[in-house]
Structure 1
């Protein structure tokens, strides 16, 4: 079917509310010179109890069509549960570089939820960051899951899309991102975790390898301008479970947490924190900062469980359990802002 037919089909199900759309083994073909309707998300909001379920499996679609689908589902003002499995994303040479549009007017009520599960999909760093960036801006409850996906690393700089608070920021909704069994770049990990820290939501990364980034700007992935978004009572929760992570990434996350001006809880559960000989020096550096409170820092000599997990990819040394929390203060914020120069294009 054409993208225009798919757009009308999916939107009709979402507008009806409480419906179920399932497509499998389909190819959604792009069309030339098809005008996209404007402000199509401004519509009557149905009851939050009416959830539309959309399931696509083994479907071929352009990146642009994929983005438009996500954009509509997250802004339609209705509860949507979307499961996208093994989609093949194709580029459309005739289309401009796909970019998620800025948010328009939000629906009157935020009493609805969006659940987006992505399974077995190859996506670029830029595309994943754009999806997370969309999640950051929404003013309702959202859950985003990436499971057994493949990140195609590129030189995308998330700082091109500055992190800004959502309109009418409220604490009456929850946001959660889960990444499982997916190797991700250091750049993507820091962007996702920093988003969770500054917007005050939950991030869980399980059975993943966090790969070193070769992009130079990764060292400048800091967001001090976001520190005043949430009140000190807002809590962000990070959990890494059976993940392979470099210690300088852990240290940078602790630095981001301490300047966020609200409580941040970070747990590394049975993680390979490398390089092994220098992990105790990481503990010493973290202990020197009064804003970082280490609650647990120990290794497990018996790591048979971890070595049996994906042992062909990783040959870990000691497996670590680390738990810390931070409560930033104004002096730490001022110091961090002064130390980190503004990043420009």
Structure 2
């Protein structure tokens, strides 16, 4: 079917509310002058009990159509559970570069939620970060799950983009992101964790191998300006479970939490922290910042039935738990921009 036909089919099911749409083994073909989906969002009050379920399996769609689909189901003003499995993303030869819609005004809703699950899909680092960036800007409860997806590394560095708070910030919603059974770049890991820290939601990365990124980003990890304009009351909660993670990634996560001046709780449960063996030096670096409170930092010597025995080896597995307070740390003050002095 064409993208226009798919768009109208999707709209009819969501507007009906409480329905289920299942598409399997379909190809959604691009068209010229496809309308932007945000223009179809209606400002209306809807019931949170009226949930539409959308399931797409083994569907081929363009990258632009894929992003437009995610934009629509997350911003239609109704509760939607969307499951996208084994979706094949293809480039549109008619477009020189992806023309992705910008987020427009949020629909008015008394209470609605979005659940989005992406499973067994090949996406670039840029595409994954764009999806997470859109999640950051939504002003309602959202759950995002990436399961068994393949990240195609590119030179895109999302940390160059300035994080800004969503419009009409409300504390009446929750956001949660889960990444499972994936090999992810440290760029994606740090972008997800930074989003959770600064927007005050929960993040769980389980059974993942966090790989070093070739893209330099050390200078793009500081967002002290966020603390002044957006300090969520919720505690940001990060959990890494049976994951392989680099020491300098843990250090940068701790640094991000400290300079954010937000309440942050971070747990590394049964994780391989490498390179070994000098992991204790990581603890010493974290203890230098008074904003970081280490609650646990011990090797895990228990017998573990690991999903990846090659990365979770006895003697290299750690349990680490730390938190940060909402007070600005000395490190944050030193990295904050100093006011300009004029004569």
> Taking structure 1 as the reference length, what is the TM-score of the superposition?
0.92
What is aligned with 1:80?
A: 80
Matching residue of 1:118: 118
Equivalent position of 1:291 in the other structure: 291
**1:113 deviation in Å?**
0.3
Q: 2: distance between equivalents of 1:292 and 1:111?
A: 36
- Local SS of the residue matching 2:61: strand
Residues 221, 261 of structure 1: CA spacing in aligned structure 2 closer, same or farther, 3 A cutoff? closer
Pairing 1:226-245 to 2, within 5 Å after superposition: 226-231=226-231, 233-245=233-245
Matching of residue 334 in structure 1 with residue 333 in structure 2:
yes
Number of matched pairs: 337
Could you tell me how far 1:140 is from its partner in structure 2?
0.2
Distance 2:144 2:316 in 1: 31
Distance 1:171 1:111 in 2: 13
- Quick one: distance in 2 between partners of 1:172 and 1:158? 27
Distance 1:6 1:18 in 2: 19
Residue matched to 1:42: 42
The offset of 1:15, in angstroms, is: 1.1
Deviation at residue 41 of structure 1 after TM alignment: 1.2
Alignment of 1:49-88 (within 5 A): 49-88=49-88
Secondary structure, counterpart of 1:170 in structure 2? coil
Q: CA RMSD in A?
A: 1.9
How far, CA to CA, are the matches of 1:61 and 1:101 in structure 2?
A: 16
For 1:328 and 1:310, how far apart are their aligned partners in 2? 37
| TM score, norm. by length of structure 2 | 0.93
Instruction: Give the whole-Å Cα distance in 1 for the aligned partners of 2:37 and 2:225.
Output: 34
Distance (whole Å) between structure 1 residues aligned to residue 41 and residue 96 of structure 2:
22
Find the counterpart in structure 1 of residue 341 from structure 2.
none
- Is the Cα contact below 8 Å between 2:171 and 2:233 reproduced in 1? no
When structure 1 is superposed on structure 2, of 176-185 and 102-111 the one drifting more is 102-111
Give 1:255-266 correspondences, 5 Å limit.
255-266=255-266
Q: Corresponding residue for 1:342?
A: none
Rounded to whole Å, the distance in 2 between the matches of 1:44 and 1:4 is: 23
Q: 1:62 to 1:210 in 2, by over 3 A?
A: same
Moved more, 171-180 or 97-106: 97-106
Cα drift, residue 170 of structure 1: 1.0
1:207-237, Cα deviation, whole Å (9 max, x unpaired):
0000001112355233222223444743100
Contact 1:148 1:181 in 2 (8 A): yes
Which residue number corresponds to residue 105 of structure 1? 105
Deviation of 1:111 (Å): 1.0
Does 2:31 match 1:31?
A: yes
* Equivalent residue number for residue 321 of structure 1: 319
d(CA) in 2 for partners of 1:51 and 1:66?
21
CA distance in 2, matches of 1:328, 1:278: 30
Q: Distance in 2 between matches of 1:328 and 1:154?
A: 35
Distance 1:186 1:110 in 2: 38
Q: Partner of 1:279 in structure 2?
A: 279
C-alpha distance in structure 2 between counterparts of 1:230 and 1:187, whole Å: 23
CA 1:237/1:110 → structure 2, altered by over 3 Å: closer, same or farther?
A: farther
